[in-house]
Chain A
Amino acid sequence: DTAVSQTPKYLVTQMGNDKSIKCEQNLGHDTMYWYKQDSKKFLKIMFSYNNKELIINETVPNRFSPKSPDKAHLNLHINSLELGDSAVYFCASSPSAGNTIYFGEGSWLTVV
């Protein structure tokens, strides 16, 4: 069973479109994250939620909006996609903030 699952795995879309990436974890963790990884493999945290409450909100464009309907889900919605949004987006979870983080398999977003 996949512990942290995210969909879609691959997404190719045009500039200006709005898209969502969904994430679910079945580990019973309290904390969930969204990370962005660029072409140089640098991992940058975007958001972190603890029990549905936003606890980390790094400097990202407000076109990115996370939503956590419950502590097992953290979805990422992106409005007005730009070329620079092309990256791999990883969802992750941990028992609590600062503990070992378990990552999903990633969503490859390509904006054309």
Chain B
Amino acid sequence: GESVGLHLPTLSVQEGDNSIINCAYSNSASDYFIWYKQESGKGPQFIIDIRSNMDKRQGQRVTVLLNKTVKHLSLQIAATQPGDSAVYFCAETAGNNRKLIWGLGTSLAVNP
């Protein structure tokens, strides 16, 4: 399934399916992007990052895609598992002060 970010939607997927979480970032000068996962009752945890000189980066079961033309970032989770249930945040940074700008998050619910 897919979702569009910057408001807090809920994406519901079946266990084993692939998930795609989308994020529309705000600043065309942003050059570093990060995805975080926040499980219930815990702090956000780093998942994967990507710099603006790349358009794709892969991790373990996760892939981040960056489309600078339309200022769009996505997180793909392969073979989604119940442990992937969480709120996912994208964040971007740019400029000399390197302040992170956070998206509003997407809640991912995995149905067994």
Q: Chain A: residues with CB nearer than 8 A to chain B?
A: 4, 40-45, 48, 55-56, 90, 92, 96-106
Determine whether the beta carbon of B43 is less than 8 Å from that of A97.
no
Extra pairs beyond A90-B43, A98-B32 (17, CB < 8 Å): A4-B43, A41-B105, A43-B44, A43-B89, A48-B99, A92-B43, A96-B98, A97-B99, A98-B97, A98-B98, A98-B100, A100-B46, A101-B34, A101-B46, A102-B46, A103-B45, A106-B42
Q: Does B81 contact A (CB under 8 A)?
A: no
- Docked Cα-Cα span, A96 to B107, in Å, equals 29
The binding surface of chain B is classed by DSSP as strand
**What are 22 A-B pairs with beta-carbon distances under 8 A?**
A4-B43, A40-B104, A41-B8, A41-B87, A41-B105, A42-B8, A42-B102, A42-B105, A43-B44, A44-B102, A97-B97, A98-B32, A98-B98, A98-B99, A100-B46, A100-B49, A101-B34, A101-B44, A101-B100, A104-B43, A105-B43, A106-B41
Q: Which residues in B have their C-beta under 8 angstroms from that of A99?
A: 98
B93 at the interface (CB under 8 A from A): yes
Residues of A within 8 A of B32 (CB): 98
What interface size band does chain B fall in? 20 to 34
Q: Sort A-B residue pairs by CB-CB distance and give the 3 closest, nearest first.
A: A98-B98, A103-B43, A97-B98
Closest-CB distance, B27 to chain A (whole angstroms): 13
Known: A42-B105, A56-B97. A100 touches B42 (CB 8 A): no
B12 within 8 A of A: no
- B14 proximal to A (CB < 8 A): no
